[in-house]
Chains A and B, each alone.
Chain A
Amino acid sequence: MRRARTWLPGLLLVTPSIILIGVFVYGMLGWNFRVAMTDQHDAVSEGRFVGLQNFVDIWDLPRWHLSVNHAIVFTVVFVLGALVLGWLLAFLMEKGIRGEGTFRAIYLFPMAISFVATGIVWRWLMNSGTGERAVGLNRLFEWFGLPQWQWFRDQDWGMAAMALPAIWQMSGYVMALFLAGFRGVPEELREAARVDGCTEWGVYRHVVLPLLRPVTLSALIILGHISLKVFDLIVAVSGKQIITDVPAVFMWVAVFDSNDPAKGATIASYIVLSVAIFVIPYLIWSVRKEKRS
């Protein structure tokens, strides 16, 4: 170990950040969990310790079940949709194509805009009016003789429709990740496989795709954690309507409309847990991998 004199100044320089992260990330996650374990169900009471009672009780609320189901449907459709579309776009572009820069710029630009702004257009596009009153996509579909939909107001598939704007917004990002992945496969490897008699499809199947696994994992983690805490988009498209409720919106309502800190904190804890469960192993794995290389 090197002498303390050589590393102490460095430690001092990052100390402010260590304190800030310690207090605002870890301290507050803990504090939130503590609030979740009290019966502080209004703005004034002190809150007595009730253990995990709130975490159990919340499953009695029909609204909680609804918001969890919504989050699951949204996550599955959004993550798969963005992954498949992003992969497809990258696959079509990876060998170089005329106007590649323009394609990339257009697929990626939604990333630069806020969900609140794009939510306004998508609310118009996914307007549930039909027939004479149809605007947006329903009007467009009518012209093409396609059926009209309820979109995000649909009882069963509303959250799948809600995933469309999110796919539109994020698939360019996934494309950029995969494109970098495709380009990172050394040409010699592909050439070697061809010399060994692989067809072009075989080259993808046995050489390129296995090497893309880490990229796929990164994309899954990023999309997954965005999805589980989705808030802006839902609020912008449909506000606080129960029909599109998700845990993050439910928490907002619990804090501001019901003035129930304990319930809000309980929901927040569940959101954190759902993300932590897969992000923590991923972080440990990727830091170890970086150390090895």
Chain B
Amino acid sequence: MTAVAGRRAAVFGWARFGVLALFVVIFLIPIYVLLVTSFKPLTEADPGQAWNLPRVWTTEAWQVAWEKLAPGLWNSVLLAVPGSLLSCALGSMNGYVLSKWRFPGADVLFTLFLFGMFIPYQGVMIPLVQLLVSVDQLAGLQGVFYGGIPGLVLAHVVYGIPICTLIFRNYYVTIPDELIEASRVDGAGMLRAYWSVVLPVSGPAIAVVIIWQFTSLWNDFLFAVFLTGPTSWPTTVMLNNIAGAQATPYSQQMAAAILASVPTMLIYILLGRFFMRGLMAGALKG
């Protein structure tokens, strides 16, 4: 490389770095606003100080936001934890069969499953509401399936089957068939081979699926708004109600928004690697 070309490459390298850094600043603007506003006292709410740091840092907005949001956060835990575990179990079994114990028509079935990943859920919402209402009536219950957490868990587990199956299937394809064959020769059946060969090496896929499902369940708004009622509202619906009320000051809105995002942000920071793999699976790539 000549000296000129070397210098040009160096300049280009710095230019790239500069542009990327500029975008970092732009990407972080909303985060700056969230944090700074949430720590402001009501006395500093005037528009002229909108972008300033708080002169007096206070956590009063955080305390109010926590009190308002806490029931929703708890509902979201009750929703997201069982929901993601159930999705994981179903996805793992399906993925195992569709990669290692294929039956005639398995490919067609898999494609039919995949379409379930892309459907706009608006297209099933009205029948879903009607079905959950009738299940409640038939079982003599009130507000369990329609208007309760169990109904919301059911919806998320069912509509999570496609993506969870896809992630597990693409992961299990990489396990050599010989391992299954070997255990079969040893007399193991399908479930035995799953339990002793496949499940012990499933760790990464399980992590990806649980993180993916937990994040989608935690952040979901559409199903929640159609299927839950005041006692079972998860975080997102409560947050939207808090923020939608005219009287709620910006500081409380922002503090509530941060509180609502803490669990998924923590997952992203601590387990970003698995989070990424889930995202990539969404692009239909293994």
Contact = CB atoms under 8 A, between A and B. Distances in A.
Interface of A: 1, 6-11, 13-14, 16-18, 20-21, 24-29, 31-32, 35, 89, 92-93, 97-98, 103, 105-125, 129, 132-136, 139-140, 168, 172-173, 176-177, 180, 215, 218-219, 221-222, 225, 228-229, 231-232, 235-236, 239, 247-248, 251-252, 255, 261, 264-265, 267-269, 271-272, 275-276, 279-280, 283-284, 286-287, 291
A261 B126 contact: yes
A264 B128 CA distance: 13
A3 to B, nearest CB: 11
Interface in B20-45: 20, 23-24, 27-30, 33-34, 37
Among A18, A28, A239, the most chain B Cβ lie within 10 Å of the Cβ of A28
Contacts of A116: 219, 221, 236, 239-240, 260
B47 A13 contact: no
Interface of B: 13, 16-17, 19-20, 23-24, 27-30, 33-34, 37, 47-48, 50-51, 90, 93-94, 96-98, 101-104, 107, 109-116, 118-129, 131, 155, 158-159, 161-162, 165, 189-191, 215, 218-222, 225-226, 236, 239-240, 243-244, 250, 253-254, 256-258, 260-261, 264-265, 267-268, 272, 275-276, 279-280, 282-285
B261 A113 contact: yes
Contact of B122 (A107, A134, A176, A229): A229
Contacts, number: 264
A216 B51 CA distance: 38
Given A21-B161, A97-B16, A125 B33 contact: yes
A70 to B, nearest CB: 16
B126 A106 contact: no
Among A255, A283, A286, the most chain B Cβ lie within 10 Å of the Cβ of A283
Given A28-B127, A92-B19, A120 B253 contact: yes
A113 B222 contact: no
Contacts of B118: 221, 225, 275, 279, 283
Contacts of B222: 231-232, 248
B271 to A, nearest CB: 10
Given A109-B265, A120-B253, A173-B279, A168 B27 contact: yes
Given A18-B109, A120-B253, A264-B126, A228 B120 contact: yes
Interface residues of A, dominant DSSP: helix
A123 B159 CA distance: 30
B94 A17 contact: yes
B123 A286 contact: no
A35 B129 CA distance: 13
Contacts of A103: 20, 24
A135 B50 contact: yes
B265 A112 contact: yes
B163 to A, nearest CB: 12
A93 B126 CA distance: 45
24 contacts: A1-B104, A11-B97, A24-B159, A28-B128, A35-B126, A35-B127, A89-B20, A109-B268, A113-B219, A117-B261, A124-B250, A168-B30, A221-B118, A222-B282, A225-B120, A229-B122, A235-B221, A247-B122, A248-B122, A251-B122, A271-B123, A275-B120, A276-B119, A287-B111
A139 B268 contact: no
Nearest to B284: A286
Nearest to A35: B126
B103 A112 contact: no
Given A35-B126, A35-B127, A129-B47, A24 B110 contact: no
Contact of A25 (B115, B225, B253): B115
Contacts of B257: 117-118, 120-121
8 closest A-B pairs by CB: A10-B101, A114-B219, A272-B123, A229-B120, A112-B268, A7-B103, A28-B124, A31-B127
